[in-house]
Amino acid sequence: MPASTDAYQQLLALSREASLLGATSALLAWDQETYMPGGAGERRAEQLELMATLGHERATDPRIGEWLTSCTATPGDDEQQAAVREMQRDYDRATRLPTALVAELAATESRAQQAWGTARTASDFAQFLPWLEKIVALQQQKADCLKHDGQSRWDALADMYEPGMRADTLRTLFAPLRQSLVALRQQLDAGTRPAETFKKREIAEPRQESFVHAIVAAMGFDFQRGRIDRSAHPFCISIGGDVRLTTRFHKDNVLDALGSTMHEGGHGLYEQGLPSKHFGSPLGEAVSLGIHESQSRLWENHVGRSRAFWQWCMPHAQQHLGGACDEQDAQSLYALCNLVSPDLIRVEADEATYDLHVMVRFEIEQALMAGDLLAKDLPARWNELYLDYLGVTVPDDRRGCLQDVHWSCGLFGYFPTYTMGNLYAAQFAAKADEALGGLDALMQAGDFAPLREWLHDNVHCHGRRYSPAELCERATGAPLSSEHFINYLTRKLHDVYAIA
């Protein structure tokens, strides 16, 4: 066996161990968010910390560097080259960060997150400020360790979530998007706002639950390799091919439960669609957060908020939800789930304003990382941008700059992946529509398999074989743009608001 083949096998074996450790941590984390009794928190934190340490030891094992050198000297086939390229990327990132900084980041972020929780409840930014200052300083240090090839600090951090993404590229994507979204919102003022009669109707939880389960089953989620439970904030986590979704129910908002479950279901289909033969290799992993989010948004919005979907779904809704659906029809529910209302909270935002919330955060975190904005000036800048981008006045910091957990746990460069997900989703949906001869007819018939298979063949099955940008070009024939998203949303909202 040539030395490089041997080295590659060693790399795969170690990478598989790291994946098994990651999957075990995921199970601990899933349990913590779903069924763990409150008194188990301290010990669980220790368990998770130990798993993280073991994972980091494997990720930075100096033998990896030697094996990678050997593999690069004698490249194998295409698959092997792609896996080695991604392993090199992971190894470089893990070893660029000094262990002391990693430990300080972990300790600070865990405490800062708790301080953020208290400050948010009290709507008291001053309480959180010392922690934010510390977090920003540490993230700047982290970015300075990671940045290479002309990246800015922000670029270096964003690269962890969306490989290859740079702020310059995003600014080019976001500028026309912002203009179009603002113009679209103004056009809607001249249209007819859909009635909101169904919105506050109370429906028993077991009925809501059987309804959303039926929809996720129709999407093709495999319950032999996954399950749905409940948590305060819905999420999807993979325990190595076994995919756990969570959702939540409000007694008077079944559309929220449906949207959340279809969203997490889309993430789940991606995880279930990753090639299991490559488990433990980068080729068996999701490529980026933006691509991941495209899968959830596609099912949540392009499917679940389409007229064609509701034409199929209405009898199922009536069957599961009972009398609550009396006097409703497909058109009224389709219109209702596409209502647009500029507001303060990102996670409650509609499709026409969501990305404006993201752009506010994108502006601010670039300035914080570059040192152009001081942490103490965050609330003022936040409120100013909300007025400018969304036309809303922020009444307090709880509903302003303290609303998201991300920055308190050190996630800078993360928010734009949500908007990229929306853009990728629209571009994938347009291509799938063309390739499958029209998605509407399939959705009206409740035939979701062709769409799921198209996504599998063009996105899921590749793992990290291609970069996100390459994957987009291969799947759709073009680089990512905001054009498909703008067209899709304009068409739909003009229809919902009866604008000629």
Query: Which region, judged by CB under 5 A, interacts with Zn ion, from 112-120, 295-303, 349-357, 408-416?
Result: 295-303
| Pick 194 or 413: Cβ nearer Zn ion | 413
Q: Choose among 26, 29, 45, 40: nearest CA to 114.
A: 45
* Residue least distant from Zn ion (Cβ): 296
Number of H helices, E strands in the chain: 20, 3
Min. distance of Cβ 300 from Zn ion in angstroms?
8
Query: Which region, judged by CB under 5 A, interacts with Zn ion, from 20-28, 244-252, 288-296, 461-469?
Result: 288-296
Cross-strand partners of 237: 244
Query: Which region, judged by CB under 5 A, interacts with Zn ion, from 61-69, 225-233, 290-298, 425-433?
Result: 290-298
Residue 264 annotated in active site = yes
| Pick 301 or 427: Cβ nearer Zn ion | 301
Burial code of 409-427, b = ≥16 C-beta within 10 A, e = fewer?
bbbbbbbbbbbbbbbbbbb
Min. distance of Cβ 297 from Zn ion in angstroms?
7
**How far apart are the C-alpha atoms of 488 and 367, rounded to whole Å?**
32
| Pick 264 or 363: Cβ nearer Zn ion | 264
Query: Which region, judged by CB under 5 A, interacts with Zn ion, from 37-45, 72-80, 296-304, 387-395?
Result: 296-304
Instruction: Find the binder of Zn ion among 4, 139, 272, 296 (CB under 5 A).
Output: 296
The set of residues, in sequence order, having a beta carbon less than 8 Å from that of 363 and lying 6+ positions away, is 385
| Dihedral angle sign, alpha carbons of residues 500, 328, 258, 217 | negative
Q: Put residue 477 in one of left, alpha, beta given phi > 0 → left and psi -120 to 50 → alpha.
A: left
Count residues near Zn ion (CB under 5 A).
1
Min. distance of Cβ 354 from Zn ion in angstroms?
12
Q: Put residue 235 in one of left, alpha, beta given phi > 0 → left and psi -120 to 50 → alpha.
A: beta
Min. distance of Cβ 293 from Zn ion in angstroms?
5
The set of residues, in sequence order, having a beta carbon less than 8 Å from that of 410 and lying 6+ positions away, is 105, 108, 109, 112, 135, 138, 139, 142
| Pick 375 or 425: Cβ nearer Zn ion | 425
| Pick 142 or 267: Cβ nearer Zn ion | 267
Min. distance of Cβ 97 from Zn ion in angstroms?
26
- Which of helix, strand or coil describes residue 237? strand
Query: Which region, judged by CB under 5 A, interacts with Zn ion, from 10-18, 123-131, 140-148, 291-299?
Result: 291-299
| Pick 55 or 304: Cβ nearer Zn ion | 304
- Which of helix, strand or coil describes residue 243? strand
Cross-strand partners of 246: 229
Min. distance of Cβ 445 from Zn ion in angstroms?
27
Q: Which two tokens stand for residue 248?
A: 């939540």
Annotated catalytic residue: which of 86, 109, 264, 300?
264
Query: Which residues form the catalytic set?
Result: 264
Binding region for Zn ion (CB under 5 A)? 296
